[in-house]
Amino acid sequence: MRPGAEERDDAALLRSVARGDEEALAALYDRHAAWLTVRMTRRYAMPDVVDHAVQDTFLALWREAHTYRGGGDVAAFIWGIGVRRLIDAIRRENRGRHRLPWRAAEPDVVVSAEDQVLVGIEHGRLGQALAGLSPELRGAIEATVLDGLTCAEAAVLLGVAEGTVKSRCHRARVALRAALAEQQAGPETPAHRREAWGTS
């Protein structure tokens, strides 16, 4: 299956949505709602909030489809909208009730070393170092680096104060640098490190 063809299809659907085609929106929903729901649930476990966020995401897609510039995966575009709608939904939820603490996803199954190699993680370097982090630090890294949220948004997602997010990110970086320095598994250029950490 050629990823290129699929991407064009999604992009074409998005262009139709921008023109007001409701069926194209429904088709995009059918393709993307499942992974979006799962990915959001991993960030915030309350199903009602996730449901609202999913609806809001596609609603925002309906209004903002024309802002898609055509470079990159449609799925990444959808996630960019979705994660912010999730933050909004959590904010609304927090206004109504008690803040829910971030629930760490404790794995029941430990993935074997072979599996890790199979899924393509650099077992000897970043992957192992990441696995060695505590859940809170990993969560902070996930929110700021993987999902690209600001510290304020990450604070809402994780249910902690903004200062806590900043300090956790810092501690995580320190821990990772230490872990990577220990491994000495190969030349580690500053450029590689920059790539790994993104722009911040």
Partner 1 sequence: MTSPFPDAAEPTPGADWHADADLLASYAVGTADPVVVWSVEAHLTGCAQCRLALAAHADAERLARNRSVLLVRVAMPGEGRMRRLLCRCGVPDHLLRLLAATPSLRTSWLLSVIGVVAVVAGEAAAVRYGWIRAGEPGRLARYPDSEVLAPFLLVAPLLVLAGVAAAFLPSFDPAFRLAAAAPFSGFTLLLVRAVSALAGALIPVVGAAFVLPGPGWLPAALLLPSLALCVFALAAATVLEPRAAAVTAGALWTLPVLLLAAAHVPLAIVQPNAQFACAAVLCAAVVVLLARHDRFEWGWKS
Partner 2 sequence: MEELTLNVSTAAVGVGGLSRRYGATRALDRVDLTLERGITGLLGPNGAGKTTLLSILATVNEPDAGRLSVFGLDPRQAAERVEIRRRLGYLPQELGYHRHFTVAGFLDYVAILKEITDRRHRAEEVARVLAVIGLEGRARTRVRALSGGMRQRLGIAQALLGEPELLILDEPTAGLDPEQRLRFRELLSGLPGDPVIVLSTHQADDIAAVCPQVVVLLQGQVRFTGTPAELAATAAGRVWAADERDGRAHLSWRGGDNRWRHIGDHPPGGAELVAPTVEDGYLLLSQAAGAR
Residues in the site for partner 1, rule: CB under 8 A? Answer: 1, 3, 6-7, 10, 22, 25-26, 29-35, 37-39, 41-42, 47, 51, 54-55, 58-59, 62, 73, 75-76, 79, 105, 107-111, 115-116, 118-122, 126-127, 130-131, 135, 138, 142, 145-146, 148, 195-196, 198-199
Cα→Cα distances 60→5, 89, 106, 117, Å: 25, 13, 32, 38
Whether 38 and 66 have beta carbons less than 8 Å apart is answered as no
Question: Is 50 or 160 the residue whose CB approaches partner 1 more closely?
Answer: 50
Residues within window 51-70 making contact with partner 2, judged by CB under 8 A: 52, 55
Q: Which two tokens stand for residue 138?
A: 């990993």
Asked if residue 85 binds partner 2 (CB under 8 A), the reply is no
Residue-level length of the chain: 200
Among partner 1, partner 2, none, the one that 75 touches (CB under a kind-dependent 5 to 8 A) is partner 1
Whether 141 and 169 have beta carbons less than 8 Å apart is answered as yes
Measured from the CB of residue 105, what is the shortest distance to partner 1 in angstroms? Answer: 6
Environment class of residue 34 by beta-carbon count within 10 Å: exposed (0-12), middle (13-18) or buried (19+)? exposed
